[in-house]
């Protein structure tokens, strides 16, 4: 079996019958690797070094014209036809539908879970990422601290929303672990870890999030997913 897509001229598939993952263990990247580990789908991972600008390699752009990780290529997509897919949220929904896992069957609860996934993609992810830039990376040297403070304040507000949702719940959807949790674990972990922003957002006050994060990070599939494509 050979895979007919330009991406494989640059990153050949050793197991062309498996779903192909192109990623890096960033907060967005680990959404998909965690999901694949949780689902138990056979897959082959390819590391895309964004610091070396590999996500803008013409071969990668043929897979994802937006030039961002993660992306997948499923040789056994809908109807048995190959499917190239990018945007982490879309990939999570696709994998949930493909495996009938981690997305509620009830239509109302399904859309409720997707609602929280969209909240992560449009709110928590971008805001936590901007705070990381202005707090830890190049933005930390800016004399004007108003951008940092703006993103810190919005991150605090978002954490409050999530903490309230988790009050009395094991997972975002209650007792049912879902793609809503998978989408957020890497982002919250990075916010208080890699971005070193726990103090600036007062993370100690968000007890429900702390317990949820501990539960999530204790899952073996999450632990495996967090290091896929690390080297």
**Fold assignment, 7-101:** Glutaredoxin (3.40.30)
**Whole-number pLDDT of residue 230:** 95
Give the domain ranges of the chain.
7-101, 107-219
Burial class (CB in 10 A: 0-12, 13-18, 19+), 5: middle
Predicted model pTM: 0.97
186 vs 17, 25, 171, 223, CA distance in Å?
28, 9, 15, 11
Q: Can you give the pLDDT at residue 3?
A: 86
pLDDT at 2: 74
Q: Hey, what are 182's tokens?
A: 């998978």
Q: Which residue has the tokens 């390819």?
A: 46
Mean pLDDT by 10 residues, the chain (231 residues): 89 97 98 98 98 97 98 97 97 98 98 98 98 95 95 98 98 98 98 97 98 98 98 91
Instruction: Tell me which CATH code domain 107-219 carries.
Output: 1.20.1050.10
């Amino acid at each position: 079996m050979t895979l007919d897509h330009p991406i494989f001229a640059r990153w050949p598939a050793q197991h062309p019958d498996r779903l192909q993952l192109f990623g890096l263990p960033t907060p967005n990247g680990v959404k998909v690797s965690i999901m694949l580990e949780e689902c138990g789908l056979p897959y082959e991972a390819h590391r895309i070094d964004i610091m070396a600008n590999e996500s803008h390699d013409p071969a990668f752009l043929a897979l994802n014209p937006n030039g961002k990780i993660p992306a997948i290529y499923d040789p056994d997509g809908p109807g048995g036809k190959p499917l190239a897919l990018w945007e982490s949220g879309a990939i999570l929904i696709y994998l949930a539908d493909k495996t009938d896992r981690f997305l509620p069957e009830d239509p109302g609860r399904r859309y409720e879970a997707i609602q929280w996934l969209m909240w992560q993609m449009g709110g928590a992810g971008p805001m936590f990422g901007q705070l990381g830039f202005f707090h830890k990376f190049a933005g930390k040297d800016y004399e004007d601290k108003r951008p940092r403070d703006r993103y810190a304040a919005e991150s605090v507000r978002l954490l409050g929303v999530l903490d309230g949702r988790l009050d009395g719940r094991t997972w975002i959807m209650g007792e049912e672990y879902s793609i809503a949790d998978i989408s957020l674990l890497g982002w919250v972990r990075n916010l208080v870890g890699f971005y070193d922003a726990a103090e600036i957002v007062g993370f100690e006050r968000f007890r429900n999030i702390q317990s949820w994060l501990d539960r999530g990070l204790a899952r073996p599939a999450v632990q495996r997913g967090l290091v896929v494509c690390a080297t």
